A and B are shown apart, each in its own frame.
Chain A
C-alpha cells in the first residue's frame, strides 16, 4: 500500500472539489486531490447543462433572498443563502477570467459581451446565467495543474481514517493500478457527490454515495434526506438540460395534450420548480393521465441552436434513437436521484465544517443548505463554487496548528479498511452487484414510495431496505478489480436508501419533494424543522431540529404545499 501525505486531502474532483483544492493551495497549503474517474470528466458538474445562478452586483439581493427562501419553502439555511448571493459572482468571474487566459469560453456571452441571462426553471424575479460545462471543467484542470496540485485519478475512496475522533485521511482503491493508497492529511474535504442509486438522468451512475457512507460511519450528521431529489428525463433515454429547455419554451403535456403544470404551479407553469414538477407528474400518472410528454416543438430556431450547442451529446442521443425533440413530443418521466445534486446530505455550517473534527463537506456531498426544498435553477452549481471556496480557505486556515497523523497508528486502520474492501472477492458464490442494485432501486424508485408517500408504504419500503442491508448486501461478490469497484458501490446505496426512507417517515407533513398522502399540508407550526440522521451504535437515530430564520420570517401556519 502506498502512502501519500498532504495538509489537505480533497476527495472528489468535480467543480466543488477542484475549486476547494485550488483555494486551499492558493492559501499556502499542500493539497492532494483524488477522484474515482478522470478529473474534469467525472461527476455531476461535467453534465451541468448550462444553468448557473449568479446574483450580479446590480441585482437586488433582498428580492433574490426572498425568492430563494420563499420558493425553497423556508427550509433554507438563510445565512447560506446570503453567503451565496455575495460570493458566487466573484468566484465565477475569477474562473471565467482564468478560462479566458487559457483560451476557453466558460460563461456564455451575448453580442454585447455580457453574460447571457435567461428566466429558466423556477425563476420569477431572479435570472439564470448560461455556462459551458466542459470549458468550465477544463479551466479547473488547467488551474490545478498550473498550481502543481498532485492529482490521483481512478482512485475510489473506500474509508476515512481517524486519529481519536479527528478525520485524518482516507484509504482508496486505485482500480487501474490494482493497489490501494493511504492518504494522510490534517483535514479532509468530502466532495464526492451524493448517491444517485444508478437511477435515471445523465451522468451520475458512478456517484453511489460512498463518500456520504464513510462520513456516516465516522459520526457525521446528515440533514434533510427526506428531500431526496428528482429531476426528470426522457423515458427512453437519459437526458439533461431540462432547465434550459423549459426556459426556452418547453412544455409538459399529459396524455390529453393538456399543459398540466399550470394547475400545479400557476406562477410559472412549465418552468415549475422540480419539487412541484415531479410530484405533479406522479399525481397525473396516478390519476390515469400518463403517458406524460416534454414538448419542444415551439422552441424558436435560434434557441434550438443554443440548446444543440450547450447539449451536443443530448441531441446525438436523441438522434441515435430516431427522435427529434423539435419535431415530436417525447415521453417524459420523473428521474429519482436520491442524495445527489441537492437532495440532502452531510450537515455543514457556513465554513463547510461537519460535526466531525477534521472533516468538511461541499457540493452534493453536503446537505446543500442554500436550496431549502428546491427554489430556482442553477443554485446548486453556484453552491459548488461557494462551498469549494469556503472549505478550501477555511480548511487551509484551520490546519495551521494541526499535525499530520501518526503513521504507525493509522497503518493498522488502513490495513483493516483494505481487508474490508477486499471482502467481496472472497464471496465466490455471492450475488452480482447489479442484482442487488436492482433490488435497491425497486424498493425506492416506485412513485408511491418516492413521491406520493404514506406511512404504510414508507414502512414497507424501509423494512425491505433494512433486510437488503442485512442480507443481500452482505453477499455481494466480485471477481475482478472492476467488479470489486461495483461491489463496493452497493452498501452505500442501501445505507443512503435507509437514511432517506427513515427521514421521509419522520417528516409528518408535505414539503418540497415529499408529498405525504397522510399529512397533505405543509405545517409551519410543528414541522418547520430540519430532519437529522446520525449513526448511533448499530442503530440509525433520526430527529428534527428547529433552525434560525434570521432574514425571512416564515408564516407560522399550515397550508397546502406552495
Chain B
C-alpha cells in the first residue's frame, strides 16, 4: 500500500526520497532513510521516480481508505 519497503541491498541512503516526498512519509536518522509514516503516502511515485537505484517498492493501493461516493 503506497510505499511499502526500502530494499536495503539497493538503498545508498542518498536521501532523495526523503527530500522529494510531498507527504513527509520518510525520516532520516544516523544517516539512514526510513519510511516513518507509510499511512500518509498518497502513491504519487515521486520517491520511486527520484530513486537512482530502484530501491523503493511502491504500489498504487491506497494507504488509507477513503469513503466511496456510492
Report which A residues bind B (CB closer than 8 A).
36-38, 41-43, 46-47, 134, 154, 175-176, 198-200, 202-206, 235-239, 282, 285-286, 290, 312-313, 316-318, 320-321, 333-334, 336, 434, 438, 441-442, 445-447, 450-451, 482, 485-486
Contact = CB atoms under 8 A, between A and B. Distances in A.
20 contacts: A37-B22, A41-B22, A41-B46, A154-B24, A176-B24, A198-B64, A202-B42, A203-B42, A205-B40, A282-B70, A285-B69, A290-B70, A312-B49, A313-B48, A320-B58, A320-B59, A320-B60, A321-B61, A445-B69, A482-B37
Residue of A42, A43, A205 most packed against chain B (CB within 10 A): A205
A486 B22 contact: no
Nearest to B27: A482
A387 to B, nearest CB: 22
B68 to A, nearest CB: 6
Residue of B36, B40, B62, B64 most packed against chain A (CB within 10 A): B40
Contacts of B46: 41, 46, 313
Nearest to B60: A317
Contacts of B19: 38
B42 A313 contact: no
A489 B64 CA distance: 16
B67 interface: yes
Given A238-B43, A482-B37, A441 B66 contact: yes
B66 to A, nearest CB: 6
A447 B70 contact: yes
Nearest to A240: B44
A485 B66 CA distance: 20
Contacts of A316: 45, 48, 58, 60
Interface residues of B, number: 28
Contacts of B37: 482
Contact of A42 (B22, B62, B66): B22
B69 A336 contact: yes
B20 A445 contact: no
A154 B43 CA distance: 19
A282 B40 contact: no
The SS class assigned to the B binding surface is loop
Nearest to A336: B69
Interface string B3-22: 00000000000000001111
Contacts of A239: 60
Given A41-B20, A445-B68, 14 more contacts: A46-B44, A198-B64, A203-B42, A204-B42, A206-B42, A238-B60, A317-B43, A317-B58, A320-B61, A438-B67, A441-B66, A446-B70, A450-B69, A451-B69
A445 B60 contact: no
A520 B24 CA distance: 44
Nearest to A439: B67
B70 to A, nearest CB: 4
A203 B23 CA distance: 10
A337 to B, nearest CB: 12
Contact of A203 (B44, B59, B60, B64): B44
B67 A445 contact: yes
Nearest to B64: A434
A321 to B, nearest CB: 5
Given A47-B44, A320-B59, A198 B69 contact: no
B45 A313 contact: yes
A200 B70 contact: no
Contacts of A486: 40
A239 B43 CA distance: 9
Contacts of B68: 235, 333, 445
A317 B66 contact: no
A46 to B, nearest CB: 7
Given A238-B43, A321-B61, A482 B36 contact: yes
Contacts of A198: 64, 66
Nearest to A134: B49
A41 B45 CA distance: 11
A46 B37 CA distance: 22
B69 A202 contact: no
Contact of B69 (A176, A206, A238, A334): A334
Residue of B20, B22, B39, B58 most packed against chain A (CB within 10 A): B22
A527 to B, nearest CB: 25
A461 to B, nearest CB: 13
Residue of A134, A199, A238, A336 most packed against chain B (CB within 10 A): A238
